[in-house]
């Protein structure tokens, strides 16, 4: 009984010493974390957000996202795929990047066309995203914009 109490108290003392070491190291690590006010990398980059409603929209989203991730696995571009079903035209689909539409189409209710449309959308979206990134690098100041002519 005495031996088990002695062993448990030695373990408690060892753990208390380790926690004091950890507390002593905390201030040095705070400058690199979120508390310093600087975030060096965004944790939620490279997502493809699904805002589709119908089965046709879901098929478009799944085929687009699987092809996009296969072709560009290291992409840090966050895209949002939005759908608005209409009775007259089928489903209206648009893809946006940084609050700008980079692709817009109407999908017929035929589910077989969703995969073909998503393959065509990949090329257009990649080109438009690269153009937006290039424009952002060329025009740094928020007060100055590109020429309108």
Q: What pLDDT is attached to residue 28?
A: 47
pTM of full prediction above 0.75 = no
Classify 143 in phi/psi space as left (phi over 0), alpha (psi -120 to 50) or beta: alpha
The domain segmentation of the chain, as residue ranges, is 48-140
Render each residue's pLDDT in the chain as its tens digit; 149 residues.
445 555 555 565 555 555 444 444 444 444 444 444 444 456 678 899 999 999 999 999 999 999 999 999 988 899 999 999 988 888 999 999 988 999 999 998 877 888 889 999 999 999 999 999 898 888 766 666 555 54
Per-residue pLDDT, 1: 46
Fold classification of 48-140 (topology level): Double Stranded RNA Binding Domain (3.30.160)
The 3-class SS string of 36-92 reads HCCCCCCCCCCCEEEECCCHHHHHHHHHHHHHHHHHCCCCCCCEEEEEEEECCCEEE
């Amino acid at each position: 009984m005495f031996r088990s109490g002695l062993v448990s108290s030695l373990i408690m003392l060892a753990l208390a010493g380790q926690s004091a070491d950890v507390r002593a190291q905390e201030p040095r690590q705070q400058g690199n974390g979120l508390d310093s006010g600087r975030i060096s990398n965004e944790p939620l980059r490279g997502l493809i957000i699904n805002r589709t409603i119908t089965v046709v929209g879901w098929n478009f989203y799944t085929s687009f996202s699987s092809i996009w991730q296969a072709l560009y696995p290291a992409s840090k571009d966050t895209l949002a795929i939005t759908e608005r079903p209409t009775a007259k035209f089928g489903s209206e689909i648009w893809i946006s990047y940084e609050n700008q539409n980079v692709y817009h189409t109407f999908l017929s209710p035929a589910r077989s066309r969703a995969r073909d449309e998503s393959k065509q959308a990949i090329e257009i979206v990649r080109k438009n995203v690269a153009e937006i990134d290039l424009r952002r690098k060329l025009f740094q100041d928020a007060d100055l914009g590109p020429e309108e002519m």
